[in-house]
């Protein structure tokens, strides 16, 4: 059984009710491969989750962009995993580089978040990735291994985890890792899982790429053996997201 191609759309902090309805209409009308070929998850801001979920075609799922590290309570401004589960939101993105950088989320904190979200029945897109300084210093693998290790130390079951490798220097910059650069890190990550978790987890866990993915570069990236899909930022707000979903056919061909 191969790994099913996975395409996530991270809308980040964007959208109005009108814009959101327009994006959903485009998604609903798009011609895409069947759900046994590709799994599609879109992640609008919290406030739009219910409306997107109610309007979106049934084979596409929704994700939150974050959730709190433990049970709810006196944590003003936070949203708990229980609330997401209660709303029927199946997925959550955790450890995105913007949160690591802007909000100081540490590897350990992200590991705790992943474990708690899984314990509440959510599925997790866990993000890892290095900065430009780290890449230029040659420490890419060291950085992503440490980020992955912090998660591996807290969880036993990887069946509901997708790892998103997002080189920070490629997010929203228009710079994209070359297919060879992406494949190298994905293969190294899979190798790390094989050695440090298990060969089974390494073989079955989807490792997706994020960082300026577009309709123009998605097919070449999708052709890499260890690239199991994408986490798309800016382009997920545009009609070209449909083209990116269709890159799944590269794998099933």
At residue 253, the pLDDT reads 75
CATH of the domain at 157: 3.20.20.70
At residue 172, the pLDDT reads 84
Structural domain for 167, as ranges: 5-251
- If one counts the domains in the chain, the total is 1
Signed CA dihedral, 46, 101, 187, 190: sign only: negative
Q: How many residues does the chain have?
A: 253
End-to-end CA distance of the chain: give it in Å, rounded: 15
Q: Strands 60-64 and 38-43: what pairing?
A: parallel
Q: Which residues are catalytic?
A: 96, 166
Q: Which of 208, 219, 217 lies closest to 9 in space, CA to CA? A: 208
Could you read off the pLDDT of 85-108 as tens digits, one per residue? 999 999 999 999 999 999 999 999
| Range list of β-strands (E), the chain | 5-10, 38-43, 60-64, 91-94, 123-128, 161-165, 207-209, 229-232
Q: Mean of the per-residue pLDDT values for the chain?
A: 97
Question: Using CA atoms, how far apart are residues 21 and 19, in angstroms rounded to an integer?
Answer: 5
At residue 1, the pLDDT reads 58
Residue with tokens 């900065």: 131
Cα 17 from chain centre:
24
Q: How many CB atoms lie within 10 A of CB 135?
A: 19
> Would you give per-residue pLDDT tens digits along the chain (253 residues)?
589 999 999 999 999 999 999 999 999 999 999 999 999 999 999 999 999 999 999 999 999 999 999 999 999 999 999 999 999 999 999 999 999 999 999 999 999 999 999 999 999 999 999 999 999 999 999 999 999 999 999 999 999 999 999 999 998 888 889 999 999 999 999 999 999 999 999 999 999 999 999 999 999 999 999 999 999 999 999 999 999 999 999 997 7
Question: Using CA atoms, how far apart are residues 150 and 134, in angstroms rounded to an integer?
Answer: 18
């Amino acid at each position: 059984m191969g790994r099913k191609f996975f395409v996530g759309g991270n809308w980040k902090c964007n959208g109005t009710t009108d814009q959101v309805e327009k994006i959903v209409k485009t998604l609903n009308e798009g011609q895409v491969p069947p759900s046994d070929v590709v799994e599609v998850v879109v992640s609008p801001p919290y406030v739009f989750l219910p409306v997107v979920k109610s309007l979106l075609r049934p084979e596409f799922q929704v994700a939150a962009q974050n959730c709190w590290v433990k049970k709810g309570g006196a944590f003003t401004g936070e949203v708990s995993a229980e609330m997401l589960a209660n709303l029927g939101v199946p997925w959550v993105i955790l450890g995105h580089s913007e949160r690591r950088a802007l909000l100081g989320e540490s590897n350990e904190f992200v590991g705790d978040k992943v474990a708690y979200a899984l314990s509440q029945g959510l599925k997790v897109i866990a993000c890892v990735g290095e900065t430009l300084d780290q890449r230029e210093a040659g420490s890419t693998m060291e950085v992503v291994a440490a980020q992955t290790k912090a998660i591996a130390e807290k969880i036993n079951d990887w069946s509901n985890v997708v790892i998103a490798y997002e080189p920070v220097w490629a997010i929203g910059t228009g710079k994209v890792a070359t297919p060879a650069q992406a494949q190298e890190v994905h293969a190294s990550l899979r190798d790390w899982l094989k050695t440090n978790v298990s060969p089974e987890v390494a073989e079955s866990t989807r490792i997706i790429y994020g960082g300026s993915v577009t309709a123009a570069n998605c097919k070449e990236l999708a052709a890499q053996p260890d690239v199991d899909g994408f986490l798309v930022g800016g382009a997920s707000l545009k009609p070209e997201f449909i083209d990116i979903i269709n890159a799944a056919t590269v794998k099933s061909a």
